[in-house]
């Protein structure tokens, strides 16, 4: 099966800051919230791994939503 590019995914996973209103980290994903980490830049991959590590301390539990282009 052919892998989809990030532009074709159509969803994003959003980590909302617990302390700064309006601040969030978002990453392209599939409908189940799976992120293609090998398709992320080094910086985006570092941010994604950081956000996952601090859920409940700095970021809320992530939510998956349709991505509007």
The pLDDT tens digits of the residues spanning 49-68 come to 999 999 999 999 999 999 87
Angle at CA of residue 51, ends 48 and 4, nearest 5°: 30
Against a cut of 0.85, is the pTM above it? no
For position 9, what pLDDT does the model report? 44
Q: What is the largest CA-CA distance in the chain?
A: 42
Which residue ranges make up each domain of the chain? 8-66
* Region of residue 37 (left: phi > 0; alpha: psi -120 to 50; beta: else): alpha
């Amino acid at each position: 099966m052919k892998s989809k590019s990030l532009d074709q995914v159509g969803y994003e996973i959003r980590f909302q800051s617990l302390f700064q209103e309006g601040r969030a980290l978002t990453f392209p994903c599939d409908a189940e919230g799976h992120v293609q980490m090998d398709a992320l830049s080094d910086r985006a991959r570092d941010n994604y791994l950081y956000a996952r590590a601090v859920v409940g301390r700095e970021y809320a539990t992530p939510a998956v939503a349709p991505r509007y282009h």
